[in-house]
Amino acid sequence: MVREQLGHEPGSGHDHSPSSCSTDEGDCGGCGPCSRKIIELGAARIGANGAELDPNLLRADLAQYIDHTLHKARVSREELKKLCSEAAQYCFASVCVNAANVAFCVRQLRGSGVPVCAVVGFPLGAMTPAAKAFETKEAVRAGACEIDMVLNIGAMKSRDYALVLEDIQQVVQAAKPALVKVILETAELTHEEKVIACSLSKVAQAAFVKTSTGFGSAGATEADVALMKAVVGDELEVKASGGVRTAADVDAMIQAGATRIGASASIAIVQGKKSAVKRGGRRAAGGY
């Protein structure tokens, strides 16, 4: 789909063919040898720090599914540098940041093969279609290859489906050739509204539907991911975000139908650290 046009496989930010391991940038992290190397490095680092870990969760193979995410308002340049360095090291599918930070992250990631994803209309979705389209164009101009836009939730609750469709369509058009993921904020929608939102996203030719901003009342659930996948079928992909903090969480979402995961706990996931927050709990100051 759109990811092939951008040179990426669905659900992955990189080419993990054997030839991709012999680049100047270093190991790809997705094939067997590279995954083992990352696992060994991660295990050594965790052991040195004395952090609690579960050896069964050392899962570098999950990195290709994860958008390494940082959306908090007070984020510093040093934190962004760290985010990008981690993304390049572990070969995450992308880094996902606020639009104001796209250009900086693009510069940090140059030559790494890791794309930058920008959020639009975030986190409320309560903007006009024209405003979201403008924000999208600015992000793409700055170098974003992916756009995660928030649905107009108020319009959806009001059954103004024409406005919801226009909202998505304008962002999809403004984003080209970047792909668009539509954030439904599933915790705020009824079953019927989730189905309609997914259907409208298909009509608008988005690339993904996504569960949550991470700033809502709840995050991703396996039931919502399965429902969204059932509606969009093979035409769109599904991204699960919000409360996904362990390798077991990621596995569950993939089994339910997700091909992309939004997480700020990405390093903990691939290194096997146990989450200090139970599933369903709200993660403070970063959403994911």
What is the number of domains present in the chain? 1
Residue 107 belongs to a domain: yes
Statement: residue 13 has pLDDT above 50: no
Tell me how far apart the alpha carbons of residues 275 and 283 are, in angstroms, rounded to a whole number: 11
How would residue 260 be classed by pLDDT, with cut points 50, 70 and 90? very high
Residue 288 belongs to a domain: no
Phi then psi for residue 205, to 5 deg, are 65, 40
Tell me how far apart the alpha carbons of residues 92 and 116 are, in angstroms, rounded to a whole number: 11
Q: 198-236, pLDDT tens digit by residue? A: 999 999 999 999 999 999 899 999 999 999 999 999 999
Residue 281 belongs to a domain: no
Residue 40 belongs to a domain: yes
Instruction: Look at residue 32 in the predicted model and tell me its pLDDT.
Output: 43
CATH code, domain with 48:
3.20.20.70
- What is the token pair recorded at 83? 């985010």
Low-confidence winner among 55-59, 98-102, 138-142, 157-161 (lowest mean pLDDT): 55-59
Residue 173 belongs to a domain: yes
The domain of 30 spans 2-271
How much is the mean pLDDT over the chain? 83
Statement: residue 154 has pLDDT above 80: yes
Query: CB of 232 within 8 A of CB of 238?
Result: yes
CA geometry: angle 20, 111, 183, nearest 5 deg: 90
Q: Which residue has the higher pLDDT, 53 or 112?
A: 112
Residue 114 belongs to a domain: yes
- What is the token pair recorded at 93? 């599918």
Proportion of the chain above pLDDT 90, given as a percent:
72
- What is the token pair recorded at 54? 């579960």
Which residues does 288 contact at the CB level (< 8 Å), separation at least 6?
A: 69, 71, 214, 219, 241, 242, 243, 244, 262, 263, 264, 265
Statement: residue 33 has pLDDT above 90: no
Residue 286 belongs to a domain: no
Residue 103 belongs to a domain: yes
Q: What average pLDDT does the segment 62-69 reach?
A: 97
Query: CB of 243 within 8 A of CB of 249?
Result: yes
Determine whether 205 is exposed, middle or buried from the number of CB atoms within 10 Å of its CB (0-12, 13-18, 19+).
middle
- By annotation, the residues acting in catalysis are 148, 210, 239
β-pairing verdict for 208-210 and 260-263 = unpaired
CA geometry: angle 83, 14, 79, nearest 5 deg: 5
